[in-house]
């Protein structure tokens, strides 16, 4: 049985989709004020592995991923580069989709942009205002978490720490892993000189970051999501906000399962421009690594474990994959054009893969287990049909891993 670690409740649970006929998955996409680095790609690859494994299990999946093209950082970066917001984000979205395809990430069925859902964001804000969950202050709209019963339930926030006085946070995002204990912004009201704004039913302005996911989910998913994914950063000041907004206006839970991927560090530090330690996919390609080797490195460590990138680790992962491909090459040669039969080795490979992947997407356990089996096989003693059977199973497995063939 496929088990996932559900952040909501902090426990392993057997996967039971909301709608078995169509599994709905929504994942936090990139903030497209800049191009994604391999730390961002690690999160998108874990989500890709999840979607591919669901398909491997026979599920039909509908996946959405938001593109955050309206936020404080994007507005600031557009001004710095002397570009319109649209030109900046169009450029970065194009590059992001190109790099997703390059690294064999299946492009989501839905890639909505925040800028295309401003009208829905306004309708949600009006609804929240009518319900008394939100209020105006100095031209902005804020959400009052104390009006939402159970606020912070995803993270497990200690609400006894909540301030006794009114406190408001007006930025889209704040640095660091910490909580902003107070009211969060939903709508940035127009200020003299603003270059990015919309004329709407509630006046000039732009939606905040935290209202954007709800505006897209409402448009495309009319029932609870089976799975909602994102990076561990989003457990602070984002996913509980999104949940509170959606569950304030809809009579059902936002999602059944919540999955969060951990950080990829470089020499123990988070990647950032200020530290000068950002690594991109094309950085590694220029160093001679293949797409499969890069993808393998970024998916080999468990998605819920922090990972530290280093040149030594990259070389080790590359060598491990190349060695395994050598075994696969020998199997393909032995198989020739024979019709495949599933012998005991092929069956064992398939069971080993499923047993580990069913354990909260343990890619490392699955890969290491397969390597152990394949390396112990006396390939010359296999019939061509048996070898072809193993190759067939490995091809099926590689629809998930995308690193072998």
**Mean pLDDT, residues 202-223:** 97
pLDDT at 210: 96
Assign 123 a pLDDT band (cuts: 50, 70, 90).
very high
- The answer, yes or no, to whether residue 273 has pLDDT greater than 80, is no
* Cα distance between residue 259 and residue 227, in whole Å: 7
- pLDDT (tens digit, 9 = 90+) per residue, 238-256? 999 999 999 999 999 999 9
Assign 195 a pLDDT band (cuts: 50, 70, 90).
very high
**CA dist list (Å): 354 to 137, 336, 358, 397:** 54, 27, 6, 9
Q: What are phi and psi of 270, to 5 degrees?
A: -70, 145
pLDDT at 337: 95
Both tokens assigned to 61 = 């999946």
* Cα distance between residue 142 and residue 110, in whole Å: 29
- The answer, yes or no, to whether residue 388 has pLDDT greater than 80, is yes
* Cα distance between residue 405 and residue 394, in whole Å: 9
- The answer, yes or no, to whether residue 223 has pLDDT greater than 80, is yes
pLDDT at 177: 83
* Cα distance between residue 229 and residue 217, in whole Å: 13
pLDDT at 271: 84
DSSP tag of 163: -
- Residue of 272, 150, 124, 131 whose CA lies nearest to 208: 124
pLDDT at 396: 98
**Mean pLDDT, residues 72-101:** 97
Q: Edge-to-edge strands of the sheet including 269-270?
A: 269-270, 264-266, 307-309
- The answer, yes or no, to whether residue 274 has pLDDT greater than 90, is no
* Cα distance between residue 57 and residue 177, in whole Å: 36
State the pTM of this model: 0.96
pLDDT at 275: 82
DSSP tag of 390: H
Token pair 């049909």 is found at: 385
Residue 218: other Cβ atoms inside 10 A: 18
Q: Which residues touch 53 (CB under 8 Å, ≥6 apart)?
A: 2, 357, 361, 400
pLDDT at 233: 92
DSSP tag of 287: T
Both tokens assigned to 395 = 């091809």
> Is the Cβ–Cβ distance between 400 and 53 less than 8 Å?
yes
* Cα distance between residue 257 and residue 24, in whole Å: 11
Assign 160 a pLDDT band (cuts: 50, 70, 90).
very high
- The answer, yes or no, to whether residue 179 has pLDDT greater than 90, is yes
- pLDDT (tens digit, 9 = 90+) per residue, 327-357? 999 999 999 999 999 999 999 999 999 999 9
Q: Which residues touch 11 (CB under 8 Å, ≥6 apart)?
A: 5
- pLDDT (tens digit, 9 = 90+) per residue, 282-308? 999 999 999 999 999 999 999 999 999
Q: At what angle do helices 363-376 and 311-335 cross, to 10 degrees?
A: 50
DSSP tag of 178: -
Q: What percent of the chain has pLDDT over 90?
A: 96
**CA dist list (Å): 148 to 109, 247, 253, 391:** 32, 9, 13, 54
Token pair 């059944």 is found at: 256
- Residue of 311, 323, 301 whose CA lies nearest to 279: 311
The mean pLDDT of the chain is 96
pLDDT at 156: 96
**CA dist list (Å): 193 to 59, 85, 118:** 50, 15, 20
Residue 397: other Cβ atoms inside 10 A: 23
């Amino acid at each position: 049985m496929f088990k996932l670690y559900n952040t909501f409740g902090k426990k392993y649970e057997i996967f039971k989709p909301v709608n078995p006929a169509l599994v709905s998955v929504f994942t936090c996409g990139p903030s497209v004020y800049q191009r994604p680095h391999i730390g961002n790609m690690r999160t998108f690859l874990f989500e890709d592995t999840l979607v591919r494994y669901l398909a491997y299990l026979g599920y039909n999946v509908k996946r959405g991923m938001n593109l955050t093209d309206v936020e404080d950082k994007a507005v600031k970066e557009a001004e710095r580069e002397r570009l319109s917001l649209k030109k900046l984000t169009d450029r970065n979205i194009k590059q992001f989709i190109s790099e997703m395809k390059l690294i064999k990430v299946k492009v989501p069925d839905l890639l909505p942009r925040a800028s295309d859902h401003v009208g829905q964001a306004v309708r949600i804000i009006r609804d929240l205002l009518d319900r008394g969950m939100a209020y105006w202050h100095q031209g902005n709209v804020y959400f009052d978490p104390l009006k939402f019963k159970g606020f912070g339930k995803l993270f497990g926030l200690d609400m006894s720490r909540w301030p006794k006085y009114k406190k408001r946070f007006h930025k889209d995002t704040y640095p660091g892993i910490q909580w902003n204990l107070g009211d969060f912004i939903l709508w940035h009201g127009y200020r003299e000189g603003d270059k990015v704004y919309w004329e709407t039913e509630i006046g000039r302005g732009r939606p905040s970051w935290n209202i954007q996911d709800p505006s897209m989910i409402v448009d495309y998913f009319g029932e609870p999501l089976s799975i909602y994914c994102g990076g561990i950063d989003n457990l602070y000041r984002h996913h509980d906000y999104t949940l509170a907004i959606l569950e304030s206006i809809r009579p059902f839970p936002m999602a059944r399962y919540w999955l969060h991927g951990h950080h990829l560090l470089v020499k123990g530090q988070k990647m950032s421009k200020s530290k000068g330690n950002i690594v991109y996919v094309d950085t590694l390609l220029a160093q001679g690594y293949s797409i499969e080797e890069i993808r393998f490195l970024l998916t080999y460590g468990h998605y819920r474990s922090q990972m530290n990138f280093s040149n030594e680790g990259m070389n080790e992962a590359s060598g491990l994959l190349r060695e395994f491909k050598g075994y696969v090459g020998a199997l393909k040669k032995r198989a020739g054009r024979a019709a495949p039969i599933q012998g005991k080795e092929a069956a064992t490979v398939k069971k080993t893969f499923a047993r580990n992947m069913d354990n909260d997407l343990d890619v490392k356990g699955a890969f290491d287990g397969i390597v152990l089996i394949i390396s112990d096989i006396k390939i010359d003693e296999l019939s061509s049909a048996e070898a072809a059977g193993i190759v067939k199973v490995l091809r099926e497995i590689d629809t998930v891993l995308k690193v072998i063939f």
